Amino acid sequence: MSKIQMKTPLVEIDGDEMTRVLWPIIKKKLIMPFVDLKTEYYDLGMKKRDETDDQITIDAANAIIKYGVGVKNATITPNEPRVKEYSLKKQWKSPNGTIRAILDGTVFRKPILVNNIKPSVSTWKKPIIVGRHAYGDIYKNAEIFAENGGKLEIRVTDKNGNVKSETIIDINETTIVQGVHNTISSIKSFARACFEYSLDQKVDCWFGTKDTISKTYDQTFKKTFEEIFETEYKEKFTAAGIEYFYTLIDDVVARIMKCDGGILWICKNYDGDVMSDMVASAFGSLAMMTSVLVSPKGYFEYEAAHGTVQKHYYKYLKGEKTSTNPVALIYAWTGALRKRGELDGIYELCSFADRLDKAVITVIESGVMTGDLAAICNPKAKQVVNSEDFIQAIATIL
């Protein structure tokens, strides 16, 4: 059998710990026997980021802009203990944050469903996809702990020196204060990314904010979405037979618990951070969640939604075989290969990605799975395997 040829390289972004151990096994067993894999490799392992003063992360993001599609492994976001563990020069920023800021994206997270794992919410039959805005709000805030309180104000001084200010409150006791922002251009990109994704997946999309309380901030999200929908997407949605629905965030949450799924749930940054974990956990596991960053300029970065699975890595270092679930990593690869195939018109690459996805599902539905899934599946697992044996079982079916 001749291997499937690629035209353009994928930007391959490697990471840390247990997911770094699984990465080459997935490539070797599941992809390279079938695809003449072309990648441009960026090592975002902790050591390399430290050595290059994090320049490697910026280079990787720019490579995605150059080629269009990247696949990223999970990476450590260093905190104080990590600085000691890896003798780092400093607490480098989150690589995901850096890449998202450069690509100006929206993150879409979609659960992978199998018939032997039932969602905790009994009405959910189809995936609920969470579309999370990845810029601003509390993730780029300023905060003050004011011991004696005081006159709390927000103030904007524009480049001509004009000042706009508002008093929040004048208060005489210890107070906490937070200032957040977003930009209209980022909100517009967010809206377009969500509407494009809905059209691509042919699913309705729902958006909710707290616009009744937040009459400038959240209402601007609401109005910007409305405007872009009416002027750019309404006809396309009608033609595709799908809907855009806006309501208060409380109402969305209530409706989500009663719906049967098959929708894109558009969330502001913090809502998406929290709600995507709730949705992932209710559908089974973070390791059964795909994640893609879509930029308004048409760049795509595929990744797993989970981290580097640190606890498993320490067991691995002691020589133990771990039952770490590689499904989200495999789907990151198939997502990237399929998109590359679409962009370059390589039908075989798209269909290979579909078959690999299907092989993964077939193995799990046959009762062979990693420990995390065995704990929640019904009927009971026939065989609980380590990561390598699980990947081998997929390779055999493939």
What does 388 bind: ligand NAP, Mg ion, none (CB cut-off 5 to 8 Å by kind)? none
Nearer to ligand NAP, 54 or 303 (CB): 303
**37 token code pair:** 């894999």
| Distance of alpha carbon 280 from the chain centroid | 11
If one asks whether residue 201 binds ligand NAP (CB under 6 A), the answer comes out as no
What does 12 bind: ligand NAP, Mg ion, none (CB cut-off 5 to 8 Å by kind)? none
What does 273 bind: Mg ion, ligand NAP, none (CB cut-off 5 to 8 Å by kind)? Mg ion
Q: How many residues bind ligand NAP (CB under 6 A)?
A: 17
If one asks whether residue 309 binds ligand NAP (CB under 6 A), the answer comes out as yes
Q: Tell me the three state secondary structure of residue 246.
A: strand
Among 307, 315, 366, 386, binds ligand NAP (CB under 6 A): 307
The answer to whether the CB of 336 falls within 8 A of the CB of 300 is: yes
Q: Which of 319, 292, 311, 295 is nearest to 303 (CA)?
A: 292
Q: Tell me the three state secondary structure of residue 188.
A: helix
**CA 181 to CA 138: how far, in whole Å?**
8
Separation in Å, CA 247 to CA 108, 226, 258, 339, 369: 20, 12, 15, 32, 40
CB of residue 266 to Mg ion, shortest distance in Å:
17
Q: How are beta strands 69-72 and 10-14 bridged, if at all? A: parallel
**CA 276 to CA 305: how far, in whole Å?**
9
Among 132, 133, 306, 340, binds ligand NAP (CB under 6 A): 306
Question: Contact positions toward Mg ion, by CB under 5 A?
Answer: 273, 277
**CA 37 to CA 348: how far, in whole Å?**
13
Specify the amino acid at residue 277. Answer: D
CB of residue 385 to ligand NAP, shortest distance in Å:
12
Site stretch for ligand NAP (CB under 6 A), options 73-81, 187-195, 226-234, 269-277: 73-81
Among 28, 151, 202, 311, binds ligand NAP (CB under 6 A): 311
Site stretch for ligand NAP (CB under 6 A), options 121-129, 211-219, 307-315, 356-364: 307-315
- 343-372 residues in contact with ligand NAP (CB under 6 A) are 372
Specify the amino acid at residue 114. Answer: V
Using CB under 6 A as the criterion, which residues of the chain lie in contact with ligand NAP when the complex forms? Answer: 74-77, 96, 286-287, 303, 306-311, 324-325, 372
